[in-house]
């Protein structure tokens, strides 16, 4: 196996050469997209000395790209990585390696995705999690079928419309961000276990153990993690239970290459390994989460924890210049509007306009502004709102959007949306993409919402 790591870069990609069989070319035509991430962009070449099999794979792809404009250049600053039998792309190197190891052991993309999800809870605490939630898109190559798993956090049963307002009806932003009321019922563990049990091939013990080992034996603090924790010192010191986990005695910051041990998180992960979802949503862990949230002014009860369910949904599907696009449906807004934007962009000669040219950036910006205007008006939780996903993602509507764009002039915001400021998109979410030697693929996005979530670690659990 060859590993390419780029220190202090936001993306780490490893390759897994387990057998001599290469991925079938037709699987490269399936694009799995989630929250503006197109996973096939990561399947490209590194320029090291190739083995015989690697050279053949390279020749196969070279023959293919002769017919199409390549997505990489030998003169580029960053070189992509070739792989014959699988690929794991995540934000953190240790978690990426966990996924590669699972593939090498014979696991499929779903097994690796679950293992990476648990590992990121240890190695990327600001966004990786078991105390948050997210979305997973799975593509099963043998069945040519895609599945969407919705495991976003849910509001507690006692939540109400005005819980973030003062007596005058004004929003108190602190309550919805850094307070017990900001915490929803976590969905990550239920989502990971649902994916593993229905579509994986390995046991929960096999996929969780690597994360337990990292938490118990400690991880070397990367420069990125050291800088992140130092920047959050002031905010996280509000919670003694959090401070005790992520800072040394007296609140001193960890330096790069020092070792961070997380024994309480290792214990919480062990309970999941032993008891499955009951090890998180019932018993010791559920009790500690409920107590911590209620003591911080929140509403999550033991009954709320026990009643949480992840949901399988139909994926959003579209096409773009001959490629299939598969993505996450509502309550995620990403998939619907990716299809909407691609339908509109399909009306413009992007190839002739040129990559990153002023014309292309202008058109993409105009298309995205209109999609975000629709997002603010139409998108919501399908359990409570009627989301016109089919209409938003129709080719007819895409043509209408394109027809209203002036190629030479920016449209005033007042003509696009009643809001003069377009919605803010958080940058604390983490995404990872995995494909195995059989062509199965997973695109997963999960989050704590803000960096390190509300900032609260449930005492005795290690869980943000």
Active-site residues, by number, are 429
- Rounded to 10°, the helix 283-295/263-275 angle is 130
Q: Name residue 37's beta-bridge partners.
A: 34
Q: What whole-number distance in Å separates Cα of residue 119 and Cα of residue 210?
A: 7
Q: How crowded is the C-beta side of 402, counted as CA atoms within 13 Å?
A: 18
Residue with tokens 């976003």: 152
Measured in whole angstroms, the distance separating CA 335 from the mean position of its chain's CA atoms is 13
Closest CA to 46 of 93, 92, 3: 3
Q: What whole-number distance in Å separates Cα of residue 366 and Cα of residue 411?
A: 7
Closest CA to 189 of 313, 303, 122, 273: 273
Question: In this structure, what are the phi and psi dihedrals at residue 272, rounded to the nearest 5 degrees?
Answer: -70, -40
Q: What whole-number distance in Å separates Cα of residue 34 and Cα of residue 332?
A: 9
- Order of strands, sheet of 323-327, starting from the edge strand that comes earlier in the sequence: 37-38, 30-34, 323-327, 316-320
Write out the E strands in 321-377.
Answer: 323-327
CA 320 → CA 188, 309, 315, 368, distances in Å? 31, 34, 16, 16
SS3 37: strand
| Residue 458 DSSP label | B
């Amino acid at each position: 196996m060859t590993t390419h790591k780029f220190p202090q870069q936001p993306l780490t990609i490893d390759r897994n050469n387990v057998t001599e069989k290469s991925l079938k070319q037709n699987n490269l035509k399936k694009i799995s997209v989630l929250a503006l991430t197109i996973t096939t962009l990561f399947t490209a070449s590194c320029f090291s000395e190739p083995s015989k099999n690697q050279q053949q794979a390279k020749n196969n792809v070279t023959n293919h790209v002769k017919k199409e404009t390549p997505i990489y250049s030998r003169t580029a600053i960053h070189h992509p990585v070739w792989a014959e039998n699988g690929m794991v792309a995540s934000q953190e190197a240790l978690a990426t390696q966990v996924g590669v190891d699972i593939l090498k052991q014979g696991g499929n993309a779903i097994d690796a995705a679950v293992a990476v999800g648990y590992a990121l809870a240890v190695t990327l605490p600001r966004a990786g999690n078991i105390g948050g939630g997210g979305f997973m898109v799975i593509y099963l190559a043998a069945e040519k079928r895609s599945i969407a798993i919705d495991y976003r956090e849910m509001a507690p049963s006692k939540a109400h419309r005005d819980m973030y307002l003062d007596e005058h009806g004004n929003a108190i932003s602190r309550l919805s961000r850094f307070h017990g009321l900001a915490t929803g019922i976590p969905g990550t563990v239920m989502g990971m276990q649902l994916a593993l049990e229905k579509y994986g091939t390995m046991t929960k013990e096999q996929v969780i153990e690597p994360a337990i080992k990292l938490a118990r034996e400690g991880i070397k603090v990367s420069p990125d993690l050291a800088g992140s924790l130092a920047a959050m010192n002031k905010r996280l010191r509000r919670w003694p239970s959090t401070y005790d986990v992520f800072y040394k005695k007296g609140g001193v910051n960890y330096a790069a290459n020092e070792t961070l041990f997380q024994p309480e998180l290792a214990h919480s992960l062990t309970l999941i390994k032993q008891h499955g979802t009951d090890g998180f949503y019932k018993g010791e862990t559920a009790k500690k989460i409920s107590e911590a949230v209620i003591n911080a002014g929140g509403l999550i009860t033991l009954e709320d924890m026990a009643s949480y369910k992840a949901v399988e949904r139909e994926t959003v599907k579209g096409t773009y210049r001959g490629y299939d696009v598969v993505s996450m449906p509502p309550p995620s807004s990403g998939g619907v509007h990716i299809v909407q934007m691609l339908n509109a962009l399909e009306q413009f000669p992007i190839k002739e306009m040129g990559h990153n040219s002023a014309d292309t950036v202008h058109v993409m910006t105009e298309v995205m502004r209109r999609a975000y205007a629709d997002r603010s008006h139409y998108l919501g939780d399908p359990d409570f709102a009627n989301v016109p996903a089919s209409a938003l993602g129709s080719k007819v509507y895409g043509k209408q959007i394109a027809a209203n764009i002036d190629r030479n002039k920016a449209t005033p915001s007042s003509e696009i949306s009643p809001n003069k400021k377009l919605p803010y998109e958080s940058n604390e979410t983490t995404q990872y993409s995995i494909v195995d030697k059989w062509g199965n693929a997973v695109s997963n996005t999960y989050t704590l919402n803000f960096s390190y979530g509300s900032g609260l670690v449930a005492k005795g659990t290690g869980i943000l």
